[in-house]
Amino acid sequence: MCGIVGYVGSRGSIEVLMGGLKRLEYRGYDSAGVAVLDGHGGIDTRKHAGKLGILSDDLAATPLHEGTTGIGHTRWATHGGPTDENAHPHLGDEGRLALIHNGIIENFGELKAELLERGHSFSSETDSEVAALLVGEAYRETGELTAAMLQVVNRLEGAFTLLAVHADQPDVVVGARRNSPLVIGLGEGENFLGSDVAAFVAYTRSAMEIGQDQLVTIRPDSVEVIGFDGQPVEAKTFEVNWDASAAEKGGWPSFMAKEISEEPEAVAKTILGRVDDSGLVRIPELDGLDEATLRDIDRVVVIACGTAAYAGMVGKYAIEQWARVPVDVELAHEFRYREPVLSERTLVVSISQSGETMDTLMAVKYAREQGARTLSICNTQGATIPRESDAVVYTHAGPEVAVASTKAFVAQITAMYLFGLQLGQVRGTLDEGRARGLVRELQAVPEQLASVLSSGERIRELAKWMADTQSVLFLGRHVGYPVALEGALKLKELAYIHAEGFAAGELKHGPIALIEPGQIVFVIVPSPRDPNSLHAKVVSNIQEIRARGARVIAIAEAGDAAVLPYADEVIRIPLASPFFEPLLAVVPLHIFGMELAAAKGLDVDQPRNLAKSVTVE
């Protein structure tokens, strides 16, 4: 989704804006532009369809007038295709005002008609240009950019983050947000605005939240936040625990390769500080949901999208087992519109790496309107979804830049497990001895993950060998089923290959008809030590598909000899109890998806058509 950067200070604004947009590239975009106040009473803008490189080459060839105030934007096309004209910034007040926008202005049609009636003409097909012209008109009335923005945002419906600058106010950037991301970077004699902290973390790690329906005015030495009602707001500050290098590749061939290598650390850091001296889970952030509330819950509903939803599906098994409370996992965009029955005893747990996924955010808002309690599991500090929730358990996976989620997935499962363990302890359904044992097993996972990573060579070879395959199936059972879904999603979104994940038990109810000679099937094999004897069932599933010519790649724990006669390949993972197996079994599938995409010469970090954070519904 769109990347947004704003700057006021003493640095050359182009350097800050382009550097910030570069670090926001991962959000996915198809055009880019900047506007700078040229210090001579004018505004200079440059914008192009395509990647940032096109814009930076043009700026190198034909530099803008240097200035110290500006705004920058990377656009993911919604209204109007990815063209130079539709790229942001858009101008108002006869070119004396520039504005950038992330989101969708739902009432832009009627507003555009009004502007046309008043004689305005448009150079783009975008809803954003409507906002630029409206703020330009309002500026003519108010003579002040903050007041002009305040007047206009109260007329807009939908989701928007807006930034604007005006030639008359060379050291001011004004921003406003509703249902769309914006965060403030606090510097010395300089201040920043960004879609997320990656926009300015190279310059400052002090940040300030800006809430729903709030407007911010930044100058080099001041930051003022007001509500859309014009009243001052006391905004919360926080320290960013990422550093700029964390958002860079650090020598890896891709962000995805780097982030897969960080999966052990993502799990370890998510556990850190959440196990007390007695070896029991104690999540400090859960204080927003006191123990009485946690005991009173009679149902948990997990809402998320994509990979985050699969992490929720894994967590479901554990929470039901440890806390003995029913857990449903729903795709946020389905949950939101089926008018689910919720009560104040329902806990709605949202899972989101970005914390800005509009489908999930709107579902959280719906849940709150229905009186449910809300807990956010999120990887991005200060993001919108945690701010809309009663409590948040942050995953500490660090910045996840590749569009395909990997380390966040294992961190999300870890956070779900920690929550499930604490919930079981609070509700008395998990005795302390068993809880301590499970905590110790969870604490062993980072090392086990590291050993899986170190034995990734065979899976890399398989991926290269299979580069021309047109279809891959994934089978899993119990907690292995969501892993099968995740493996399939990775192949779809990275290698653009048809892939499908199934519950292994579902095979004979239809999918087995897909099996023909040479069909590649990954099978996540449960531990032979599992109490439900699912292992034997899955081994017989392998026999059924082998009998029909499938090529089976089994992911099985070390020492499991039962699979050897039936699998063409066996990828080994360390011994772990059933609930922790997903954290290990998914790593070969992440590597496989990445390597197969690389073997096809595809962009592993920014797959086609996708954005890192889907901030539109």
DSSP state for residue 418 in the 8-state scheme: H
- Which residues lie across from 103 on neighbouring strands? 160
Residue type for position 324: R
**503-to-317, 441, 525 alpha-carbon distances in Å:** 14, 26, 12
- Count CA atoms closer than 13 A to 135's CA, side-chain side: 31
Based on the shown chain and the rule CB under 6 A, indicate whether residue 493 belongs to the binding site for ligand AGP.
Answer: yes
Based on the shown chain and the rule CB under 6 A, indicate whether residue 488 belongs to the binding site for ligand AGP.
Answer: no
Based on the shown chain and the rule CB under 6 A, indicate whether residue 616 belongs to the binding site for ligand AGP.
Answer: no
Q: For ligand AGP, which stretch binds (CB under 6 A), given 231-239, 364-372, 400-408, 445-453?
A: 400-408
Determine which helix (DSSP H) or strand (DSSP E) holds 374, and give its type and residue range: strand 373-378
Cα–Cα distance measured from residue 462 to residue 536, given in angstroms and rounded to the nearest whole number: 26
Q: How far is the CB of 75 from ligand AGP (least distance, A)?
A: 19
Q: Which two tokens stand for residue 122?
A: 């448009």
* DSSP string over 565-607: TT-SEEEEE----GGGHHHHHHHHHHHHHHHHHHHTT--SSS-
Of the residues 146, 169, 405, 606, which one makes contact with ligand AGP according to CB under 6 A: 405
Q: Which two tokens stand for residue 326?
A: 């029913």
Of the residues 24, 99, 198, 403, which one makes contact with ligand AGP according to CB under 6 A: 403
**Which residue, judged by CB position, is nearest to ligand AGP in the bound state?**
306
- What stretches of 210-326 adopt beta strand conformation (E)? 214-219, 222-227, 237-239, 299-304
Based on the shown chain and the rule CB under 6 A, indicate whether residue 613 belongs to the binding site for ligand AGP.
Answer: yes
Of the residues 360, 384, 469, 615, which one makes contact with ligand AGP according to CB under 6 A: 360
2 an active-site residue? yes
Q: How far is the CB of 591 from ligand AGP (least distance, A)?
A: 14
Total residues interacting with ligand AGP, rule: CB under 6 A: 15
Q: For ligand AGP, which stretch binds (CB under 6 A), given 162-170, 246-254, 314-322, 397-405?
A: 397-405
Task: Compute the radius of gyration of the chain from its Cα atoms.
Answer: 25
Based on the shown chain and the rule CB under 6 A, indicate whether residue 527 belongs to the binding site for ligand AGP.
Answer: no
Cα–Cα distance measured from residue 230 to residue 214, given in angstroms and rounded to the nearest whole number: 9
Q: How far is the CB of 305 from ligand AGP (least distance, A)?
A: 4
Cα–Cα distance measured from residue 304 to residue 309, given in angstroms and rounded to the nearest whole number: 5
Based on the shown chain and the rule CB under 6 A, indicate whether residue 614 belongs to the binding site for ligand AGP.
Answer: yes
Burial of 431 (0-12, 13-18, 19+ CB in 10 A): exposed
Based on the shown chain and the rule CB under 6 A, indicate whether residue 497 belongs to the binding site for ligand AGP.
Answer: no
Q: Which is nearer to ligand AGP, 354 or 425 (CB)?
A: 354
Q: Which is nearer to ligand AGP, 74 or 615 (CB)?
A: 615
**CA 289, 294, 298 angle in degrees (round to 5)?**
130
Q: How far is the CB of 326 from ligand AGP (least distance, A)?
A: 24
Of the residues 138, 404, 483, 567, which one makes contact with ligand AGP according to CB under 6 A: 404
Based on the shown chain and the rule CB under 6 A, indicate whether residue 353 belongs to the binding site for ligand AGP.
Answer: yes
DSSP state for residue 89 in the 8-state scheme: P
Beta-strand pair 551-557/569-573: parallel
Q: Which two tokens stand for residue 55?
A: 């814009």
Based on the shown chain and the rule CB under 6 A, indicate whether residue 395 belongs to the binding site for ligand AGP.
Answer: no
Cβ-Cβ contacts under 8 Å for 448 (sequence gap 6 or more): 573, 574, 576, 580, 583, 584
Cα–Cα distance measured from residue 558 to residue 551, given in angstroms and rounded to the nearest whole number: 21
Q: Which is nearer to ligand AGP, 271 or 614 (CB)?
A: 614
22 an active-site residue? no
Based on the shown chain and the rule CB under 6 A, indicate whether residue 352 belongs to the binding site for ligand AGP.
Answer: yes
Based on the shown chain and the rule CB under 6 A, indicate whether residue 74 belongs to the binding site for ligand AGP.
Answer: no
Residue tagged active-site, from 2, 22, 316, 378: 2
Of the residues 184, 225, 308, 439, which one makes contact with ligand AGP according to CB under 6 A: 308
Based on the shown chain and the rule CB under 6 A, indicate whether residue 307 belongs to the binding site for ligand AGP.
Answer: yes
Of the residues 70, 89, 170, 306, which one makes contact with ligand AGP according to CB under 6 A: 306
Based on the shown chain and the rule CB under 6 A, indicate whether residue 305 belongs to the binding site for ligand AGP.
Answer: yes
Q: How far is the CB of 406 from ligand AGP (least distance, A)?
A: 8
Beta-strand pair 214-219/222-227: antiparallel
DSSP state for residue 214 in the 8-state scheme: E
Beta carbons of 16 and 5 less than 8 angstroms apart:
yes
Q: How far is the CB of 319 from ligand AGP (least distance, A)?
A: 19
| CA max distance for the chain | 80
Q: Which is nearer to ligand AGP, 124 or 179 (CB)?
A: 179
Q: Which is nearer to ligand AGP, 92 or 386 (CB)?
A: 386
Based on the shown chain and the rule CB under 6 A, indicate whether residue 593 belongs to the binding site for ligand AGP.
Answer: no
Q: For ligand AGP, which stretch binds (CB under 6 A), given 15-23, 30-38, 299-307, 516-524?
A: 299-307
Q: For ligand AGP, which stretch binds (CB under 6 A), given 231-239, 266-274, 352-360, 520-528?
A: 352-360
Based on the shown chain and the rule CB under 6 A, indicate whether residue 70 belongs to the binding site for ligand AGP.
Answer: no
- What stretches of 464-603 adopt beta strand conformation (E)? 471-476, 498-503, 520-524, 551-557, 569-573
Cα–Cα distance measured from residue 417 to residue 151, given in angstroms and rounded to the nearest whole number: 47
Residue tagged active-site, from 22, 112, 407, 612: 612
Based on the shown chain and the rule CB under 6 A, indicate whether residue 346 belongs to the binding site for ligand AGP.
Answer: no
Q: Which is nearer to ligand AGP, 179 or 354 (CB)?
A: 354
| Positions in the binding site for ligand AGP (CB under 6 A) | 305-308, 352-354, 357, 360, 403-405, 493, 613-614
- Active-site residues: which are they? 2, 612
